[in-house]
Amino acid sequence: MTHIIVFSVLIFSVIFGFNAPKKSAWFIIIITPVLGPGDFYIGASSILPLTMYRISFFILLGILFRSNYAILNGLLENRYVKILTIFALILFILQVKDYPTPTITTLLPTYFIAIVLPFVLIREPKNLEKLIKIFVYQATFISIFIIIEYFTDFSLPAFLRSTARVGSYSIETKGFAEIYRSGFYRVAGLGGQPVFTAYQLVFYFPLTIFFIQKKRKILSYIPFILVIIGLIFLQTRAAIISAVVSIILMLLTYFILFKKNKSLVIKNLLKIFTVLLLSSILLFIFVPTIRNISESLFSGLVQTISGTNHDTDIDVTQKILRIPIAIKMIFSHPVLGYLISPRSAYFELMKTADLPAIFLYLLSGGILFGLFYLYHLFYMYVGTLKIVKTIIVNNLEYSLIVFYSSIALFAGIFVTFSNWVEVHFMLMYILFLSITISNQKLKYFYKRSLKRSTLSKSNQILR
Helix (H, G, I), strand (E, B) or coil at 184: strand
Helix (H, G, I), strand (E, B) or coil at 277: helix
pLDDT classification of 84: cutoffs 50, 70, 90: very high
Mean pLDDT along residues 250-261: 78
Which pLDDT value is given to residue 307? 53
What are the pLDDT digits (tens) for 196-223?
999 999 999 999 999 988 876 778 889 9
Count of all residues that appear for the chain in the document: 463
List the one residue out of 118, 139, 156 whose CA is nearest residue 28.
118
Q: What is the largest CA-CA distance in the chain?
A: 85
Lowest mean pLDDT among 36-40, 154-158, 261-265: 261-265
Lowest mean pLDDT among 70-79, 158-167, 191-200: 158-167
pLDDT classification of 43: cutoffs 50, 70, 90: confident
* Residue 311 reports pLDDT greater than 60: no
What are the pLDDT digits (tens) for 326-381?
999 999 999 999 999 999 999 999 987 788 999 999 999 999 999 999 999 999 99
Sign of CA dihedral 6, 7, 11, 12: negative
What are the pLDDT digits (tens) for 370-417?
999 999 999 999 999 999 888 765 677 788 899 999 999 999 999 999
- Could you tell me the pTM of the whole model? 0.91
Which pLDDT value is given to residue 374? 97
Q: Please state the φ and ψ torsions of residue 181, each to the nearest 5 degrees.
A: -135, 120
Sign of CA dihedral 272, 407, 38, 212: positive
Q: Give me the DSSP letters along 198-232.
A: HHHHHHHHHHHHHHHHHH-SGGGGHHHHHHHHHHH
Which pLDDT value is given to residue 240? 92
**What percentage of the chain exceeds 90 in pLDDT?**
54
pLDDT classification of 312: cutoffs 50, 70, 90: very low
Q: Give me the DSSP letters along 130-158.
A: HHHHHHHHHHHHHHHHHHHHHHSS--HHH
Per-domain boundaries in the chain: 1-67, 68-462
Contact 398, 87 (CB under 8 A): no
Mean pLDDT along residues 135-141: 97
Which pLDDT value is given to residue 10? 94
pLDDT classification of 3: cutoffs 50, 70, 90: confident
* Residue 457 reports pLDDT greater than 60: no
Which pLDDT value is given to residue 431? 98
Provide the 10 A C-beta neighbour count for residue 256: 9
Which pLDDT value is given to residue 455? 44
Interatomic CA distance for residues 255 and 272, integer angstroms = 16
Which pLDDT value is given to residue 452? 56
